[in-house]
Chains A and B, each alone.
Chain A
Amino acid sequence: MKESSLPDHIILIDDDAVTNMVNKKIIYLSFPSIRVTAYTDAAVALDQLRQMIAKDVTQLPDLIFLDINMPHMDGWEFLNEFIKLSESALQKTKIVMLTSSVDINDIEKSKTYKPVTDFLSKPLNKDNLRNLLQYQSV
């Protein structure tokens, strides 16, 4: 664990570009130092993660905000592939579900994935972002 209280790098995975834009803005408004990368396709994001592991593990994000309902590859499919990645990625990168779903089944299901640390309902706002990041850094 890094000594720094804040994550260096956050990845946003949501098929809705507007949502990504809004979330990026919210993170920037509160923590301008954090680098944020957004993907509208989970498969592309997964591919990027694999490249990072191959080239430079330090490039891996500290946190991923993951939506569930996405057309090409949904959040569950992404998780299924993610847990197959190397130990280093699993150690460093935590996943927070960020979805419009209010389905209790989805919350329970997400807890079965070890990398998933939290489940947030859209939209992201400054308060729950701050709570989340402080909790993450402890």
Chain B
Amino acid sequence: MPLRNFRKPVFIGLGMFLVLTVLTQLLVYFWYQSARYTEIQRLSNQANAKKERVHITLTNSLSCTRTLAFVVEEHGIPQDFNRIAEKLLRANPLVDAIELLEGGVITHVYPVNGNEAAIGYNILSDTVRHRGAVIAMQRKDFFFAGPVKLKQGGIAVIGRQPIFINGKFWGFAAVLIKLSSFMKATAIDADSNRDFSYQLSRVRTNGQEEFFLPAAAIPTEGDFVTIEVPNTEWKLYVTSRNQTEIYHHAIVLSALGFLFSSIVGIFSWYTAYQPEKLEQLVERRTCQLTMEKELSDSIINSLPGIIYIYDQNRKFFRWNRNFESVSGYTSDEVRNMHPLDFFEGEDKELLRKKIETVFDKGQADVEAYFYTRTKEKIIYYFNGNVAHFDGNTYLIGMGIDISKRAAAEKDIQDLNTRLQATIERLQARNNDLQQFSYVVSHNLRNPIARILGLASIFGDDTNENRVIVDKITEATTQLDDTVKDISTIVSARNITEKYEYVSFNDAWENVRHELKNEIDQSHVAISVDFNKAPGLISVKSYIHNMLYNLVSNALKFRNQNIPATISIKTNLYKQGICLEVQDNGIGIDLVKNGAKLFGLYKRFGPESIPGKGIGLCLTKNQVESLHGKIEVASKLQEGSTFTIYLPTLI
């Protein structure tokens, strides 16, 4: 990503540094150049000034040679050379000695003292020293030469004025100025100036340059100004002592510029690095958050249940993929749905309360049917917890499909019900057996015991014997009846008759006909309603018998003190049809007799009421053989209600 690389703070810092470095160095360079230029200007001014001074100094000494030359030209060699020379020297204190040369030979010198060695010396013969003299001859004008080592000792510059008599060269008038004096006068000695240093040079005939002032540095590098001094063979060098200073200043400024650039560069880098650092931090944090979100997403998506989060406005905030796949709604749809949209009926109100509980108390759970988009309902166990984040309150809920568990629970429940039914049936059967055992001991063994007893007292008394035989006959008949009854009851348990449609109305008409006398005598008000269940597929004789026994009992056990009423009706129940016979008779003490009520030979109520105790027993056996059941509700003095439940055969 070049753009991003470009934005990198290192580049910004480096760029800033480079630009500033170039700028500062350029500024320093220009400053340096301008300073140099100013310095050179100053140098040349100084050089010109110095040149003027040298020139003036030399020109002053010129007046000596001119005067002397004039005297010689006009008057020939003066007799009083010394006097004139002395006067001339006094007028020009700078001049150290005055010479007069005829041809090239020094003929006169003043002051003689110390200069005697020069007398008679022919300068034109000295090829090394004669150059100045020659130039003066050729120029026919004053010319300074030197500095030379004097014949008489010392170093001096020599100014020579050629003398022409009648247009013919005669000789020279010369002045000697000691170099030290010259230097002093012109103030170009090494220590005379703080700002500048000077150098004088002369170019020899062989082209080599000879410098006069060894103390001063020979200006080979750096800035200097050279100027030729008129009437001499000299070059004057002016060098600035500031030069190195400027250079040093420039170096320091350059260094400062570099330093400044570096600082600004580093600062820029650092400044630019801050957002970069922040960005990196943000990026790292974002990456971390993304990773965490992905992790939590993959966790919640991997969980088997459904997970969802919504706020207090019941607005869905997040949910797992399972939530969508189970509900069948897309994420856009879920976003606009209310949590209660997934429930119907009573569950809706229940869930509404539970959600409120979660927001109030922090936690709640519930089992409810979750409705999918296709209105398929799945039993779910929901667990909700309240969560606070970002300053808001949320409900984090999780649902687990418990239909398998619910189914298993239902299976167990069914099994239990069946087991319970079996137990009840076994208990009933046991009860039946006990009752049968009772019947056996009482109704079978009683007559037998009686017969045996009677037989044991059979004796000699004829009259008594007749009675005994009669009693035996009576007991035997009773025994026979009992066996017949038992046979009837037992056969009721095994249906041999055919199933057919039985109309309750027809059955009732038959029973009413059979019980006509009893009904008429008792003045009972009978209401009949078979509208809800007019009939069923069953065993006709059984239905007839049930109706007969129940109505017959209601008539027998009516309350004599009040007008008797009997209500007969049929109804539908979950598995079939029920027949109900209700009376307002004397009622039955169910606490005392409930268990025996349907037993064989069980009779209740006053002795005066006829009956063997077979009817209800037979009815019960017939009902049970039709897989039904008989129930009784009764209260003494208020009446009884017998209800027969007959499952419809499928």
Residue numbers of A with Cβ under 8 A of B are 16, 18-19, 22-23, 25-26, 29, 69, 71-72, 99-103, 121-126
**Would you give the 0/1 interface string for B474-507, flagging 1 where the beta carbon is closer than 8 Å to chain A?**
1100000000000000000000000000000000
Assess the A123–B442 pair: CB atoms within 8 A.
Answer: no
Assess the A122–B457 pair: CB atoms within 8 A.
Answer: no
Minimal Cβ-Cβ distance residue in A for B449: A122
Distance A103 CA – B457 CA, assembled complex (angstroms): 27
Known: A18-B471, A71-B603. Contact between A122 and B454, CB under 8 A? Answer: no
Distance A26 CA – B442 CA, assembled complex (angstroms): 21
Q: Does B446 contact A (CB under 8 A)?
A: yes
**Would you give the 0/1 interface string for B414-455, flagging 1 where the beta carbon is closer than 8 Å to chain A?**
000000000000000000001001101110011011101110
**Can you list 23 residue pairs at the A/B interface with Cβ under 8 Å?**
A18-B474, A18-B475, A19-B446, A19-B450, A19-B453, A22-B457, A25-B457, A71-B603, A71-B607, A100-B445, A100-B448, A100-B449, A101-B438, A101-B445, A102-B437, A103-B434, A103-B437, A122-B446, A122-B452, A122-B453, A123-B449, A123-B452, A125-B456
A22, A99, A121 — most chain B CB neighbours (10 Å): A22
Residues of chain B within 8 A of A99, CB atoms compared: 441
Residues of chain B within 8 A of A69, CB atoms compared: 438, 441-442, 446
Known: A22-B456, A71-B603. Contact between A102 and B438, CB under 8 A? Answer: no
Residues of chain B within 8 A of A25, CB atoms compared: 457
Assess the B456–A100 pair: CB atoms within 8 A.
Answer: no
Distance A122 CA – B447 CA, assembled complex (angstroms): 10
Residues of chain A within 8 A of B457, CB atoms compared: 22, 25-26, 29
**Residue in contact with A100 in the complex, picked from B434, B442, B471, B603, CB distance below 8 Å:** B442
Minimal Cβ-Cβ distance residue in B for A102: B441
**Residue in contact with B453 in the complex, picked from A22, A71, A102, A103, CB distance below 8 Å:** A22
Residues of chain A within 8 A of B450, CB atoms compared: 16, 18-19, 22, 122-123
How far does the Cβ of A104 sit from chain B's closest Cβ, in whole Å? Answer: 10
Residue numbers of B with Cβ under 8 A of A are 434, 437-438, 440-442, 445-446, 448-450, 452-454, 456-457, 471, 474-475, 603, 607
Assess the B446–A103 pair: CB atoms within 8 A.
Answer: no
Minimal Cβ-Cβ distance residue in B for A125: B456
7 additional contacts (CB under 8 A) given A71-B607, A122-B449, A123-B453? A18-B450, A22-B453, A26-B456, A69-B441, A69-B446, A100-B441, A123-B456
Residues of chain B within 8 A of A124, CB atoms compared: 453
**Residue in contact with B454 in the complex, picked from A22, A100, A102, A121, CB distance below 8 Å:** A22
Minimal Cβ-Cβ distance residue in A for B445: A100
Minimal Cβ-Cβ distance residue in B for A123: B453
Minimal Cβ-Cβ distance residue in B for A15: B446
Minimal Cβ-Cβ distance residue in A for B447: A100
Distance A123 CA – B451 CA, assembled complex (angstroms): 9
B442, B449, B474 — most chain A CB neighbours (10 Å): B449
Distance A123 CA – B457 CA, assembled complex (angstroms): 11
Minimal Cβ-Cβ distance residue in A for B468: A22
Distance A69 CA – B441 CA, assembled complex (angstroms): 10
Assess the A16–B446 pair: CB atoms within 8 A.
Answer: yes
Known: A18-B475, A71-B607, A100-B446. Contact between A26 and B438, CB under 8 A? Answer: no
Residues of chain A within 8 A of B446, CB atoms compared: 16, 19, 69, 100, 122
How far does the Cβ of A91 sit from chain B's closest Cβ, in whole Å? Answer: 31
How far does the Cβ of A98 sit from chain B's closest Cβ, in whole Å? Answer: 9
How far does the Cβ of B470 sit from chain A's closest Cβ, in whole Å? Answer: 10
Distance A45 CA – B424 CA, assembled complex (angstroms): 40
Assess the A103–B456 pair: CB atoms within 8 A.
Answer: no
Residues of chain A within 8 A of B474, CB atoms compared: 18
Minimal Cβ-Cβ distance residue in A for B471: A18
Distance A15 CA – B471 CA, assembled complex (angstroms): 15
Assess the B475–A101 pair: CB atoms within 8 A.
Answer: no
Distance A124 CA – B452 CA, assembled complex (angstroms): 9
How far does the Cβ of A10 sit from chain B's closest Cβ, in whole Å? Answer: 16
Distance A26 CA – B458 CA, assembled complex (angstroms): 11
How far does the Cβ of A28 sit from chain B's closest Cβ, in whole Å? Answer: 9
Distance A103 CA – B439 CA, assembled complex (angstroms): 11
A100, A103, A121, A125 — most chain B CB neighbours (10 Å): A100
**Residue in contact with A103 in the complex, picked from B441, B452, B475, CB distance below 8 Å:** B441
Residues of chain B within 8 A of A126, CB atoms compared: 456
Distance A126 CA – B474 CA, assembled complex (angstroms): 24
Distance A99 CA – B448 CA, assembled complex (angstroms): 12
**Residue in contact with A18 in the complex, picked from B448, B454, B607, CB distance below 8 Å:** B454
Assess the B454–A103 pair: CB atoms within 8 A.
Answer: no
Residues of chain A within 8 A of B452, CB atoms compared: 122-123
Residues of chain A within 8 A of B456, CB atoms compared: 22, 26, 123, 125-126
Residues of chain B within 8 A of A72, CB atoms compared: 607
How far does the Cβ of A116 sit from chain B's closest Cβ, in whole Å? Answer: 18
Distance A103 CA – B445 CA, assembled complex (angstroms): 12
Assess the B453–A101 pair: CB atoms within 8 A.
Answer: no
Distance A119 CA – B49 CA, assembled complex (angstroms): 174
How far does the Cβ of B207 sit from chain A's closest Cβ, in whole Å? Answer: 165
Minimal Cβ-Cβ distance residue in A for B601: A69
Residues of chain B within 8 A of A102, CB atoms compared: 437, 440-441, 445
Distance A99 CA – B440 CA, assembled complex (angstroms): 12
Residues of chain A within 8 A of B454, CB atoms compared: 18, 22
Residues of chain B within 8 A of A23, CB atoms compared: 453
How far does the Cβ of A93 sit from chain B's closest Cβ, in whole Å? Answer: 24
How far does the Cβ of B284 sit from chain A's closest Cβ, in whole Å? Answer: 88
How far does the Cβ of A43 sit from chain B's closest Cβ, in whole Å? Answer: 13
Residues of chain A within 8 A of B434, CB atoms compared: 103
Distance A22 CA – B451 CA, assembled complex (angstroms): 10
Assess the A19–B449 pair: CB atoms within 8 A.
Answer: yes
Residues of chain A within 8 A of B440, CB atoms compared: 102
Distance A124 CA – B448 CA, assembled complex (angstroms): 12
Distance A99 CA – B452 CA, assembled complex (angstroms): 14
Closest 7 CB pairs of A and B: A122-B449, A123-B453, A22-B453, A100-B445, A101-B441, A123-B449, A100-B446
How far does the Cβ of A76 sit from chain B's closest Cβ, in whole Å? Answer: 12
